[in-house]
Amino acid sequence: MIWGLFDKKKDKPQAEAAERKGLFDGLRKSSAKLADSFTAVFTKDKLDAADIAELEEVLIASDMGAAAASRIAGALADQRFSKENAQTEAREALAAEVARILEPREAHLDLTTGPKPRIVLVIGVNGSGKTTTIGKLANNLTNAGAKVVIGAADTFRAAAIEQLKVWSDRADASFVSSTQGADAAGVAFETVKRAKEANADVALIDTAGRLQNKSELMAELAKIIRATRKLDEDAPHETLLVLDATVGQNALSQVESFRSVTEITGLVMTKLDGTAKGGVLVAVAQRHAIPIHFVGVGEKAEDLKPFEAESFARALVGLS
């Protein structure tokens, strides 16, 4: 399970069924958009060239990107489907091909292994759901028995500090902050210092996401990393990039921009429940060899779900 030693004992089959249903419901907008166009293509047992071209257009319109669309359409072109059940069989085949792209990126994040405290830097553009993701992570970790310290190193926005404080109180996590405009690296240093002093399991550090000034962002992140390494030479142990699904293909350029600024160890895709652009995660997986750890499909802490390629692929095409 994602929380490893921190995970509470659950009725596993019941929990897995609930996870699948939550994902299916969260991706309903994306699956509905895809289904409306996809089923119209599959009206016979084998696709011809025109059908393949139409299928590619459908997949591109679903935000999967040209490369993934071409790969999936090419794979389905060689398959035959029964006349009686062509659409269902085609949807199963589509889910399998989507899962094939996603599976190499599936990576559960076990925060119980390695150094203690595990220092996690969270990056992403403003509005991506970065602060909320930290709050949900903290809530799930503390509910499972972990001791967590949260650092509000996005000192550029007072609202981010306030929002993170609310989540911290809700999660019963320790909270480190300063005033708006304060030195972000100083907050990060104090977060790691307090986590070590408290023998905490995990330190979660929020950061600013001002991509419009890449040189300033690069300098700030570099300073934060230097500050944390004064206390732990291997910090941060994880750097998670949070992406907002509602921006569609722009998520690809965000990954590229942040990769040029710092190393990224894993991805989180948020707001999948509020958009029909959930296919963009397939495009991201096709282009970038970065592990995907979590997907967000709702407002509650439990709506931040460990990423599972097969479950996601099936939900994306409307299969429970």
Local confidence band at 14 (pLDDT 50, 70, 90 cut-offs): low
CATH topology for the 118-307 domain: Rossmann fold (3.40.50)
Q: Side chain identity at 254, as an amino acid letter?
A: Q
Residues 6+ apart with CB under 8 A from 236: 119, 120, 121, 205, 225, 228
Q: Of 31, 93, 87, 95, whose CA–CA distance to 63 is shortest?
A: 31
Using the predicted structure, report yes or no on whether residue 247 has a pLDDT greater than 60: yes
Q: For 202, phi and psi rounded to 5 degrees?
A: -140, 140
Structure-block tokens of residue 160: 């981010």
**pLDDT tens digits for range 24-65:** 788 999 988 887 777 777 666 667 788 889 889 999 999 999
Kind of pairing between the strands at 202-206 and 238-244? unpaired
What's the first-to-final CA gap in the chain, in angstroms?
21
Local confidence band at 3 (pLDDT 50, 70, 90 cut-offs): very low
Mean pLDDT of 237-247: 97
**pLDDT tens digits for range 289-318:** 999 999 999 999 999 999 999 999 999 999
* pLDDT for res 12: 59
* pLDDT for res 45: 60
Mean pLDDT of 118-140: 95
Using the predicted structure, report yes or no on whether residue 1 has a pLDDT greater than 70: no
Mean pLDDT of 90-118: 94
Mean pLDDT of the chain: 89
Domain spans in the chain, listed from the N-terminal domain onward: 27-105, 118-307
Question: What one-character-per-residue DSSP string does the chain give?
Answer: -TTGGGPPP--HHHHHHHHHHHHHHHTHHHHHHHHHHHHHH--SSS--HHHHHHHHHHHHHTT--HHHHHHHHHHHHT----SSSHHHHHHHHHHHHHHHHHGGGB----TTSSSSSEEEEEE--TTSSHHHHHHHHHHHHHHTT--EEEEE--TT-HHHHHHHHHHHHHHT-EEE---TT--HHHHHHHHHHHHHHTT-SEEEEE----TTSHHHHHHHHHHHHHHHHTT-TT--SEEEEEEEGGGTTHHHHHHHHHHTTS---EEEEE-GGG-S-TTHHHHHHHH----EEEEE-SSSGGGEEE--HHHHHHHHTT--
* pLDDT for res 16: 66
Structure-block tokens of residue 90: 């085609």
Length of the chain: 320
Contact 298, 273 (CB under 8 A): yes
State if pTM tops 0.85: yes
Q: Of 304, 126, 101, whose CA–CA distance to 209 is shortest?
A: 126
User: What is the C-alpha separation between 157 and 198, in angstroms, rounded?
Assistant: 27
**pLDDT tens digits for range 192-233:** 999 999 999 999 999 998 776 778 888 999 999 999 999 999
CATH topology for the 27-105 domain: Four Helix Bundle (Hemerythrin (Met), subunit A) (1.20.120)
